Amino acid sequence: MIRLFFLCLIITVLGLWLTLFLGFYEDPGYILIAFGSYTFETSLFALLISLVVVYLVFRILKLTVNWIDLPRFFRLKELYKRKLKDRAKSAATEGYIQLYLGNWTAGQKLLKKILRTKDASIIDYLAASYATFKIDELEKWSRYLDEAKQKFPTHAFTIEIMRAQFLLDAGQFDEAKQTLDSLRRSTSQDPRLMFTLKDYYLQKGEWKSLKALLIQLEKKGLIKPEELHKLTVKCVKSEIEAHSEKVDSGEHKEAVESLTAFWRQAPNRLRTDEGLIIVYASNLIRLGANRDALKVIEKALANKWNDQLVCFYGEKDFKENSHQLATAERWLKTVKDSSVLFLTLARISLRNELMEKAKNYYELSITSSPSAEAYLELSLLSARLGEDRACLEKLKLYFKIVAAGKLDLPLVS
């Protein structure tokens, strides 16, 4: 800068000397430049001054650039950008850790930082949306998904699947259905879509649609056998109940025939499920087909012994009490020391008005394996027989079993 100052001073002095020595103040000279139809004219003195000014400006710019050190300036700028990028990545990493720990609010705040950068990925947007959904901010999580869809259009399907799942979890079934219907128009065989549809049908109780979807999932090997069986049982159970719910009081015969035909068409693996057998038999009883229901239970027990079915056999009144007592007592020859069978025999004996026999079977059931049901029913039977002391004793034992199963306190001795 000092050299530039002396240079300017020398040029100024030299200019004044030339002006005085050469007489520019009396005759500044004349220059004419012609180029095509264009002309440029000025005095020689003005041209010299202009050249000096241009030279000085050039020198000043050069010195300024050297002083600023542009390469170093751009390096610093790049380092600053890299530092911001690293800071955003660090915030994102910490955000994912917070999500893993279940700290949704902290995770969302950290992930928001990387969304402000150009390096935000589709994963960052989805994670931020998930965290926001967990803290019940509907507008924000939806906005993050919209931004992700706009920025990453090739991942639109994944984004919409996530939107549908969020809507399902939030109980917004109409909006979820609209999203799923839109996705089905583009592709109906995508596994992620099929799983989300399964959740939707299950929550809404659309059993026919679920049953059809389960067939596709089974063909593609996308569902475990245990889950397939469990969901298929739910579908068939709903269809069984639907058969009896549609029937008016005067159409029971047609309903029974329709329900029986449906049951016969069901796969054998379903017709051996004790839960479905009970649902089927219960609906037959509801329609007045007690004898048919009785045959269903007895046939199932002949094929495979099941305590749940034996218990149902004694709980329900099939209007065939003598037959039931004879059948159940024959089971005693092959099934030894079964508290459930003794309890069932006690109940059937009560329906046959055989009080002493019922009392005996209750006591055998308790001896085999004490249960709250046996104690309570024996207590009521003792009261009916006028055995007040025995009634209170059995009632006390009933409360002892019930309380012991519910209270972790030293109150029952």
Domain layout of the chain by residue ranges: 2-68, 250-319, 320-413
Residue 412 near residue 404, CB atoms below 8 Å: yes
DSSP E strand stretches across 256-393: none
Helical segments of 23-69, H only? 44-68
Which residue in the block uniquely carries the two structure tokens 């991942």?
155
> Which residues, in sequence order, are CB contacts of 40 under 8 Å at separation 6+?
32, 33, 34
Q: Please give the residue that has the higher pLDDT: either 369 or 29.
A: 369
Report the C-alpha gap between 264 and 253 in whole angstroms. 17
Checking phi first, is residue 158 left (phi over 0); if not, alpha (psi -120 to 50) or beta? alpha
3-state helix, strand, coil in the chain (%, to 5): 80, 0, 20
pLDDT tens digit sequence for 359-407? 999 999 999 999 999 999 999 999 999 999 999 999 999 888 887 655 5
State the pLDDT at residue 30. Answer: 58
Q: Which of 181, 112, 109, 171 is nearest to 147 (CA)?
A: 112
Asked whether residue 18 carries a pLDDT value surpassing 70, the answer given is no
State the pLDDT at residue 2. Answer: 56
Terminal CA-to-CA distance of the chain, rounded, Å? 103
> Which residues, in sequence order, are CB contacts of 149 under 8 Å at separation 6+?
155, 156, 159, 160
- As a whole-number percent, the residues of the chain with pLDDT over 70 amount to 77
Q: Please give the residue that has the higher pLDDT: either 191 or 68.
A: 191
State the pLDDT at residue 244. Answer: 73
The tokens describing 37, both together, are 């139809």
> Which residues, in sequence order, are CB contacts of 168 under 8 Å at separation 6+?
176, 196, 199, 200, 203
pLDDT tens digit sequence for 96-110? 898 889 898 898 888
- Mean pLDDT (whole number) for 293-298: 94
The Cα-based distances of 15 to 20, 154, 262, 276 in angstroms read 9, 70, 116, 114
Distance of CA 342 to the CA centre of its chain: 46
The tokens describing 183, both together, are 């996705």
The tokens describing 286, both together, are 């509801």
State the pLDDT at residue 180. Answer: 92
Asked whether residue 69 carries a pLDDT value surpassing 80, the answer given is no
Asked whether residue 111 carries a pLDDT value surpassing 90, the answer given is no
Asked whether residue 128 carries a pLDDT value surpassing 60, the answer given is yes
Residue 252 near residue 288, CB atoms below 8 Å: yes
Give kind and range of the element (H or E) at residue 352: none
Report the C-alpha gap between 96 and 108 in whole angstroms. 9
Q: Angle CA(350)–CA(356)–CA(318) in degrees, nearest 5?
A: 15
- Mean pLDDT (whole number) for 166-182: 91
> Which residues, in sequence order, are CB contacts of 186 under 8 Å at separation 6+?
157
Topology of domain 320-413, per CATH?
1.25.40
Mean pLDDT of the chain: 82
The strand pairing partners of 33, in sequence order, are 40
pLDDT band for 173, please (50, 70, 90 cuts).
Answer: very high
State the pLDDT at residue 32. Answer: 62
Which residue in the block uniquely carries the two structure tokens 């092959």?
334
State the pLDDT at residue 120. Answer: 85
Specify the pTM.
0.67
Q: Which amino acid is at 333?
A: K
Residue 44 near residue 31, CB atoms below 8 Å: yes
Instruction: Answer positive or negative: Cα dihedral of 63, 68, 73, 76.
Output: positive
Report the C-alpha gap between 49 and 57 in whole angstroms. 12
pLDDT tens digit sequence for 199-248? 999 999 898 899 999 999 999 899 999 999 999 999 999 888 887 776 55
Angle between helices 207-219 and 225-245 (to 10 degrees): 150
**Residues making up the chain, counted from first to last:** 413
Report the C-alpha gap between 179 and 158 in whole angstroms. 12
State the pLDDT at residue 17. Answer: 55
State the pLDDT at residue 119. Answer: 78
- Mean pLDDT (whole number) for 34-60: 67
State the pLDDT at residue 21. Answer: 54
State the pLDDT at residue 68. Answer: 59
Asked whether residue 305 carries a pLDDT value surpassing 70, the answer given is yes
pLDDT tens digit sequence for 239-269? 888 877 765 545 577 888 888 888 998 888 8
Distance of CA 175 to the CA centre of its chain: 15
- Using DSSP's 3-state secondary structure scheme, residue 170 falls into coil
pLDDT band for 322, please (50, 70, 90 cuts).
Answer: very high
Report the C-alpha gap between 58 and 54 in whole angstroms. 6
Give kind and range of the element (H or E) at residue 33: strand 31-35
